[in-house]
Amino acid sequence: MKKLLKRTLIFLMSLILVSCLQVKNSEKQNVNIKTRQKTSPNLIVILADDLGYADVGFNGCKDIPTPNIDKIANQGVKFTNGYVSYAVCGPSRAGLITGRYQDRFGFSRNPLFTPNDPEMGLPLTEETLAEALKKADYKSVALGKWHLGAHESLKPLTRGFDDFYGFLTGGHHYFPQKWILNDEFDVKSQYDAYKTKLLRNNQRVEEKEYLTDALSREAVHYIDKHKDHPFFMYLAYNAPHTPLQATEKYLSRVDTIQDKKRRTYAAMVSSVDDGVGLVLDQLDALNLTENTIVVFLSDNGGPEPHNGSDNGVLRGMKSDLFEGGVRVPFAMQWPGTIPAGMVYNKPVISLDIFGTIVNQTKKEIKTKNKIDGVDLIPFLLGSNKGLPHDFLFWSKFDEQIYATRHANGDKFLVKDQDTMLFNLDVDISETENIAGTNPLALDSLARTFNNWNAKNIDPVFMGLFQDKEYSELHPDRFERLE
């Protein structure tokens, strides 16, 4: 009996020792990342607009060459289950830039262009990633599409960014000759804002280059400008969002594509790919590559019939809560830390970009609000064997469409009063509604969504669907108010 007791005690002590060593090794791995860095890592987020899931090489695209975008996946990790927090651009960007589900703060609609309205955009209660990183002495630059508010109090320089080059509205013309409006108060309707001249910080400028090329040029410039500080670059390309406009330089690369819409779209994607290449080359030239996290993703799925995009096997498109609306091309590199050529299959979301970078800085950051994103690095390096997220959530308030995805592949979706359940692991195209045969899973996911949604608030501003109503209520919408 004594021998048995002794053996049992030895076995238990061995288990405790192994467990302690595992914890220490996990802690050591995380510490090693920080100690081998001379400074906090830079972060570059490259956000495409309305890019289809199947329109990059790393997701199998054959007719659009994307060698530079693919390089990010090849030098780092491709997320096969990479999501955004909304199926259209404004709310999706609000989630990304705050690390929080935008429903937490009522940004559940695509905002209107209203330069007089301080409520039309990202609420001041929210902390942007640029504001959070200021606490660790980062410099931040926003390039391209803002779409988080046009009022003076909501512009990038008031939301933590040190520099801005781009436009405030949800879209823009690409050719400089179309930029005929000198000021936001020259705008007379929602889509007039596509014609505004670009802003450098708070000043209008006379730009001569094709929009995508101009943003790429500025990105290279700002990497050089901030090379001696930790920096965050938010490079939000407008391409390939409509209007479909491309230069002959890019059209000639894809002249084998017969469909005119698809060809112009492909040319616009190629222009983004060139810009990504310039950014990566500049990092190499300045020896910044191993100290820079680069993330590439789209703000939502492709609106296939509108811009010629392709979501591949995914059902639905932009604005849908089917996979085609919210699952996007998503890759990240951090050479020397993230293993090259990695494929990660567990669900992640754009909110995790915030969660990842704030946990890598030399100086600890305490965020203003509780974020929903997580640090992906321990999961990618294997020190955390768990799941980044058990559940992901989406809600379209006005249409009462909502969805929940479990990490096991089950996805619950309610649309037009139809309740659907799919298992994405075996049915990525969401073709078979299995709600009738899985009542327990359906009930569990419905309750999980309701618990999440109970912490959200109603929209705090009118959106694109209320454009006419808003203008009637605010006849001075575009007048300069003293």
Catalytically active residues are: 89, 147
Helix (H, G, I), strand (E, B) or coil at 134: helix
Asked if residue 78 lies in contact with residue 331, where contact means CB atoms within 8 angstroms, the answer is yes
**How far apart (Å, rounded) are the C-alpha atoms in residues 192 and 169?**
10
The burial class, CB within 10 Å (0-12 / 13-18 / 19+), for 471 is: middle
**How far apart (Å, rounded) are the C-alpha atoms in residues 342 and 157?**
36
Nearest to 342 by CA among 111, 116, 97, 58: 58
Rg (CA), the chain: 23
Indicate the Cα dihedral angle 414, 350, 79, 290, nearest 10°: 180
Q: Is the peptide bond before 240 cis (omega within 30 degrees of 0)?
A: yes
Give me the phi and psi of 298, to 5 degrees please. -105, 155
Tokens of 475: 């006849």
The burial class, CB within 10 Å (0-12 / 13-18 / 19+), for 20 is: exposed
Tokens of 15: 């288990």
Give me the phi and psi of 233, to 5 degrees please. -115, 125
Nearest to 445 by CA among 413, 480, 398: 413
Asked if residue 162 lies in contact with residue 139, where contact means CB atoms within 8 angstroms, the answer is yes
**How far apart (Å, rounded) are the C-alpha atoms in residues 120 and 467?**
12
